């Protein structure tokens, strides 16, 4: 009986894992996170090496995605891209990208801007914030399944919520054979 209780107590501890919230990068980390190595046309390239050492926190961490969602609102992204559907700026959730869909391309679009209207935010946001926003923008289209999602909108949602399964899952699914 006692053994069973001990076993149960130990097993119940396994569920105690909580997502860690990394509230800020140390300044050297932040500096390293800015060291992206883009291709010559500034579309695509290699992510900073430290991103892998940190375990790619801006892709699968709900807190970071949520901060990205907050920044999407706060820094006026909605003004041109609406809720991802696009207005005077291109859509961010239709799977078509003029300047690349990978994290490095999106980071470069945010930091340095792009021709025909996308402003540069490198002087307005910190490296952490730009990566958070990159992670959120990549989650907008929901083309890949993810275990993390930001919280729901307070207002009515103009598209499927980010915390639903991938929007394109039904299309991508292949027969298992």
Task: Work out which of 1, 17, 18, 27 binds another protein, going by CB under 8 A.
Answer: 27
Contact range with another protein by CB under 8 A, out of 6-14, 16-24, 46-54, 102-110: 16-24
Contact range with another protein by CB under 8 A, out of 4-12, 79-87, 89-97, 120-128: 120-128
70 contributes a contact to another protein by CB under 8 A: yes
Cα 114 to Cα 100: distance, rounded to the nearest angstrom: 11
24 contributes a contact to another protein by CB under 8 A: yes
DSSP result, the chain: -HHHHHHHHHHHHGGG----------HHHHHHHT--EE-TTSSSEEPPHHHHHTT-HHHH-HHHHHHHHHHHHHTTTHHHHTTTT-SSS--SSSS--SS-SSHHHHHHHHHH-BTTTB---TTTS-HHHHHHHHHHHHHHS--S--S--PPPPSS--SS--TTSSPTTHHHH-----
Identify which of residues 127 and 142 has a Cβ nearer to another protein in the complex: 127
75 contributes a contact to another protein by CB under 8 A: yes
Identify which of residues 76 and 165 has a Cβ nearer to another protein in the complex: 76
* ∠ Cα 16 20 21 (to 5°): 140
50 contributes a contact to another protein by CB under 8 A: no
Cα 110 to Cα 92: distance, rounded to the nearest angstrom: 13
Could you tell me the smallest distance in angstroms from the CB atom of residue 127 to another protein?
8
74 contributes a contact to another protein by CB under 8 A: yes
Contact range with another protein by CB under 8 A, out of 67-75, 92-100, 134-142, 165-173: 67-75
66 contributes a contact to another protein by CB under 8 A: no
Residues found near another protein in the complex (CB under 8 A): 21, 23-25, 27, 30-31, 70, 74-75, 123-129, 154
């Amino acid at each position: 009986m006692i053994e069973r209780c001990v076993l149960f107590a130990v097993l119940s501890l396994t569920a105690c894992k909580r997502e860690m919230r990394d509230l800020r990068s140390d300044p050297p980390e932040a500096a390293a996170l800015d060291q992206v190595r883009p291709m010559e046309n500034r579309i695509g390239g290699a992510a900073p090496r430290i991103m892998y050492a940190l375990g790619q926190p801006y892709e699968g961490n709900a807190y970071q995605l949520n901060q990205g969602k907050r920044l999407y609102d706060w820094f006026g992204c909605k003004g041109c891209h609406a809720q991802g559907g696009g207005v005077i700026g291109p859509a961010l959730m239709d799977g078509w990208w003029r300047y690349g869909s990978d994290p490095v391309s999106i980071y470069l679009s945010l930091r340095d801007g792009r021709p025909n209207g996308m402003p540069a935010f490198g002087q307005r946001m910190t490296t952490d914030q730009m990566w958070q926003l990159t992670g959120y923008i990549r989650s907008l289209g929901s083309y890949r399944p993810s275990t993390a999602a930001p919280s729901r909108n307070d207002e009515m949602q103009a598209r499927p919520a980010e915390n639903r399964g991938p929007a394109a899952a039904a299309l991508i699914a292949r027969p298992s054979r």
